[in-house]
Structure 1
Amino acid sequence: MESKYCRESRVIRTSRIFPNDMNNHNTLFGGRLISDVDQVASISAARHSRRECVTVSIDSVEFLHPVRPIDSVCFESYVTWTGTSSMEVFVKIIAEDLKSGECKIAATALLTFVALGQDKRPIKVPSVMPETEEEIKLHETAPERAKIRNQKRQISKDLAGFLTMKTFNEMN
């Protein structure tokens, strides 16, 4: 299977912020931002694999600066690293003050997707070839993040096995 450049999966989307996107602090609602992050990241995963993809995890979202009503918000995503069927997707969120032109990195996010074959089972994906300094840094540091992701996933599975649905079942 041929490798692909990070740029081949790049997605850039800019949106205006509207009143219904705001929270009670008059900044962009975090849930809205996460929804948009998942959407652009899913396109990057599909572009890289050319397959149907599912979100396996939102590994991290770091809110660095609030997005205000006078800002536009730009999402840039691309695949940084792959396993056998999994893809790590990085999303950079940039807020631009539309009056001054000042830009800030408002947030960053890392998500994991799995490509699916026609049988809806995981399928092998191409490896990634980074080119820019940013892409190389993210690619080089990805194996450690993958190790941590796998550890967290096992902890979550262990916890889920311990949890009960007693309260849920009592309500229904």
Structure 2
Amino acid sequence: MATALALRGISRNCTAGSRFGSLRLNGIYIVPSRLAVPSTQTACKALVPYQSKSFSLTSQRKAAPEIEQAGHDHVLHWTAERILSGILMGAIPLAIVYPTPSVEYVLALSMTLHSHWGVEAIVVDYVRPSVFGKIIPKLAVGAVYGLSFLTLGGLCYFIYTDVGIINAIKLLWKL
């Protein structure tokens, strides 16, 4: 704040150029050489705009318009991801120590959901409508959902009809 006030004071003392005759670069007005000050006056290289932006310690950023229109709540989603990570930290050791079908179903659901959110974030970030058009990103997200449902269904089928996830890993480890 003090820096902004000091720069504002410096810019008011400068007599070179007007606010409209200077070049704006990252919020600072640069005086072109054709508007240079005569040598008898103090020359200023940068003029700070008179209407400074407000400064706040709290983060109040606005999302991109397409995200705001979609109505996504990213704080809630981030909180859900952290809770799921905590559940996984407990579900994995519990499934190793106590490998019952019900614990393995919880493990399969939480691992599939965790993987789904990660792959979906990658697809949404890299398969953007501005690059691929409007149809391909929707197909890519649909493919992620389909792959996640197939994964969860396959894991549940494997738990129900075979030895289960943890016992299969133990059998593979014995090889």
TM-score by length of 2: 0.24
* Greater Rg by CA: 2
Q: Relative contact order, CA 8 A, sep 6+: which one is greater?
A: 1
TM-score by length of 1: 0.25
Q: Return the structure number with greater helix share.
A: 2
